[in-house]
Structure 1
């Protein structure tokens, strides 16, 4: 990934049987040609370098062949044959004013994967990751074998740049009633010891914050991870009571959160269902906030997008639309304990069901669709009142095809410990989103939207610039009957950005952060919306405030 406007090399290695020419081209995420040319090469192994700059940001795929001998770029890990990829990071400093963060934890984006990859996380605009303090990790072999010490803190965190969400689920075999490791299923054998262990975790986290994160107001803990609870309902509340009291006993800045169910909805194992089950037993008094995973369907993918509210005739599918689930979860939280924080610590978009890594997959169209759906998903999560959302995942991994936002260019089936990667369109959509949305507070969803139009308004902290994210989605045409995902099909929409009687211009950013200027007349601008989100940058906050409904219980950053 390169800074916009910087010079960077494209290095080609050829092995032509005789003197030949390389024909090369560069396409963007929608398949548009952004550059092409030829250059001569001699026979035998040859390295040729082109120096490039880009005034456009986003994802780019390089293709190349020998004009006489043919051939193409080889498959590399999970990246199919025919392409090499790179990204150009947007520079929006002249468009979106810089924000002053009063506290470090006002940032809004985290990521799973890339633990320790400081530069990559910074380039993506990610400010926090998950750090484990599970009993199963810290004391796998017996009690009282871990003594917190700043000497043992991962050097990655000592810079203080990337914050920690402290994960504390996981019971080792010696503390488990099953005699084997268990996670989120049963109480540990000694709940009092579990509480004192949590007190040590709280003391450890408080010391790390004081030493390395002086501008971070709170420490954040995630108690369970997609729980599949086998003990009684009172036992589940007892687990949270022990964790809550232990952590708060030593960390005055603790924010204890759960239950981190895989879906924000109302089914028995979903976030809303779990809260409903345990709220009457007092779970709310042991939660400072709620963490959910935001998988609105079993296997979200380009063909299973989050928006089904207006477009699916099947009521069971419509009821699982992500915006409605997040809205209902916020209302339920408010009834249990007003104004709690809401985080989404995981949601990702895979390739389409049944997909597999291979030399001819994924297609450029599948990669485009993944980026568009992933961007929309995280905008819904934030727009419906989550303070923080986590991208999932860093690089491709073996279990399910395509969840990575980067190709693993070494391992054909991907790896959780990938060390050499190249970006997909999704990664560059994330890099644009963080630069546009980080530093904002959510205003809410736009009212009175036409069928199949979606929109959320955000405002920079301190009462600054307004940013409105908009797109359209139509299940009937996604994919099209021919099986492709159209980057151009869409609809028109008129957005009010200023007072009646006022004419002017605003900047509109595409999904990759590329700007163009659009005029408005009498306060109204006309937009063409597609399945890729766009961002309208405007200044009249009072006009936007009159058009939105704020998330219930959301109190900003």
Structure 2
């Protein structure tokens, strides 16, 4: 990945049997050729380097062949044959002023999969990752083995730029009633010991905050992770009580969160966060949480074929509840009934390739990669727009078993690896890099009112009363996918957005999914937009006009 406007090189290695011409091109995330050319090479193994500079940001794929001898770029790891990819990071300062945050907690984006990769996290605009403090990790062999020390904190946190979400689920065999390591089904045998262990975790976390994160207001803890609870409801709440009491006894800044079910809503039983909260509310769970964490899988597993808006236009009301925006509203409503104005974090959401996909020389296609990027960006915007303070991207690079969840290709392992180090960006990576630069440092205003069917929009404002950012797109099930099985990037829908007071004329900035800006006129306070399945961001200045046209998320209490 390179910064917009910087110089970089693309080197072609050829092994032509005789003098030949290399025919090359560079395509963008919509598979459109942005630049192409031809150069002559002698026979034998040769390296030819082109010096490049891009005024566009985003994802780009290089392809090449020999005019006479043919050939193409080989498959490399999980990246298919025919392409080499790179990214150009957007320079958002050309259209958005910088925002000064009072606290690191005000950032809005986290990620799983790159804990040790400080440069990658910075390039993507990520400010939070998950740090392990599970009993099964810290004391796998027996009690009282872990001796907390600030010096032992992961080096990435010593920079003070990437905040910790402290992960607590995970019971070792010696502490489990099941007699085995597990993290989803049972409480530990000795809740008194568990409470004392959590006090050590709390003291350790607060010490780390004081040394490395002095501007951080709170310490954040996630108690359970996609629980598949096989014990009693009373014991679930008792475990939360032990964790809560232990942490708060030693950490005056503790924010204890859960239950982190995979699906946000209330339409399913075991795996829906809102429904799980409802199940345990009567037993007093609200007394032992300071906030709620969920995963954002509106469909499980989520794929490009199942977009977050799929059920919004379903004629069956029970199906409508499965749309991500409806799930988030149900979750916020349940939270508000339990304990008003709690924080809400979505700590995992990834979009994999379509069902039945497998890594190979001809997969994924450019169209699949585009669809993944568009769907993932829309899903995270819905999560934030419907009232989550924070959303986490999933996952770093491709890994075995779930084709495509990676934000980056793994160039060393054909089926991916959890420890991949040689990477290449997908369109999703560059869409995320643009989204963080545009949406981070904002408050959520909420969803736009009166939207026509198949149009989606959410408004945000930079902290400190800055620029207003409205994210908009369209989705139509008929073209996702269409009759030939592809996802249309060019389907359009018109929408008139109010950006200023009636009677005023002017211009707004319109930013595409990859962070490229253009200018659009508005007349009588209205700008006419052409929406596609790729989100755009409209930057305007009259907050009162936009705020008067939104519904704020229930219980959302700012950053």
- TM-score category (smaller protein): over 0.9
Q: 1: CA distance between counterparts of 2:509 and 2:330? A: 33
Q: 2: CA distance between counterparts of 1:461 and 1:447? A: 22
Q: Secondary structure at the match of 2:92?
A: coil
Counterpart selection for 2:461 from 446, 459, 462? 459
Q: Secondary structure at the match of 1:49?
A: strand
1:132 is matched with: 132
1:262 lines up with 2:262 in the alignment: yes
1:367 is matched with: 369
Q: 2: CA distance between counterparts of 1:318 and 1:45? A: 59
1:309 CA displacement: 4.5
What CA deviation, in whole Å up to 9, does each residue of 1:254-294 have, x standing for no partner? 10000000001112121011001000000001000000001
1:480 is matched with: 482
1:85 is matched with: 85
For normalisation by structure 2, the TM-score amounts to 0.99
Q: Is the 8 A contact 1:292 1:345 kept in 2?
A: yes
Q: 1: CA distance between counterparts of 2:343 and 2:262? A: 17
What CA deviation, in whole Å up to 9, does each residue of 1:347-404 have, x standing for no partner? 1101111111100000000100110000000000000000000001110111111011
What CA deviation, in whole Å up to 9, does each residue of 1:72-95 have, x standing for no partner? 000000000000000000001021
1:156 CA displacement: 1.8
1:221 is matched with: 221
Q: 2: CA distance between counterparts of 1:152 and 1:504? A: 55
Q: 1: CA distance between counterparts of 2:319 and 2:36? A: 44
Q: 2: CA distance between counterparts of 1:300 and 1:318? A: 17
| 1:356-395 to 2 correspondences below 5 Å | 356-395=358-397
Q: 2: CA distance between counterparts of 1:203 and 1:11? A: 52
Q: Secondary structure at the match of 1:206?
A: helix
Q: 2: CA distance between counterparts of 1:309 and 1:506? A: 32
2:202 is matched with: 202
Q: 2: CA distance between counterparts of 1:309 and 1:356? A: 27
Q: Is the 8 A contact 1:302 1:350 kept in 2?
A: yes
1:314 CA displacement: 4.3
Q: 1: CA distance between counterparts of 2:469 and 2:343? A: 22
What CA deviation, in whole Å up to 9, does each residue of 1:485-538 have, x standing for no partner? 111112100000000000000000000011010001000110000100000000
2:117 is matched with: 117
Q: Secondary structure at the match of 2:345?
A: strand
Q: 1: CA distance between counterparts of 2:94 and 2:377? A: 23
Q: Is the 8 A contact 2:312 2:323 kept in 1?
A: no
1:43 CA displacement: 1.6
1:436 is matched with: 438
1:13 CA displacement: 1.1
Q: Is the 8 A contact 1:26 1:34 kept in 2?
A: yes
Q: 2: CA distance between counterparts of 1:313 and 1:43? A: 64
Counterpart selection for 2:306 from 301, 304, 315? 304
1:319 lines up with 2:324 in the alignment: no
1:333 lines up with 2:335 in the alignment: yes
1:6 lines up with 2:42 in the alignment: no
RMSD (CA atoms): 0.8
| 1:405-444 to 2 correspondences below 5 Å | 405-444=407-446
2:176 is matched with: 176
Q: Is the 8 A contact 2:160 2:213 kept in 1?
A: yes
Q: Secondary structure at the match of 1:188?
A: coil
Q: 1: CA distance between counterparts of 2:92 and 2:195? A: 47
Q: Secondary structure at the match of 1:65?
A: strand
Q: 1: CA distance between counterparts of 2:460 and 2:400? A: 36
1:72 lines up with 2:72 in the alignment: yes
Q: 2: CA distance between counterparts of 1:163 and 1:230? A: 33
Q: 2: CA distance between counterparts of 1:489 and 1:374? A: 18
Counterpart selection for 1:284 from 283, 286, 289? 286
1:349 is matched with: 351
1:155 lines up with 2:158 in the alignment: no
For normalisation by structure 1, the TM-score amounts to 0.99
Q: Where in structure 2 are there 5+ consecutive unaligned residues?
A: none
Q: Secondary structure at the match of 1:122?
A: helix
Q: Is the 8 A contact 1:107 1:439 kept in 2?
A: yes
Q: Secondary structure at the match of 2:202?
A: helix
1:508 is matched with: 510
Q: Is the 8 A contact 2:23 2:67 kept in 1?
A: yes
Q: Is the 8 A contact 1:408 1:414 kept in 2?
A: yes
| 1:26-65 to 2 correspondences below 5 Å | 26-65=26-65
1:524 is matched with: 526
1:302 CA displacement: 1.3
1:237 CA displacement: 0.2
Counterpart selection for 2:452 from 450, 453, 474? 450
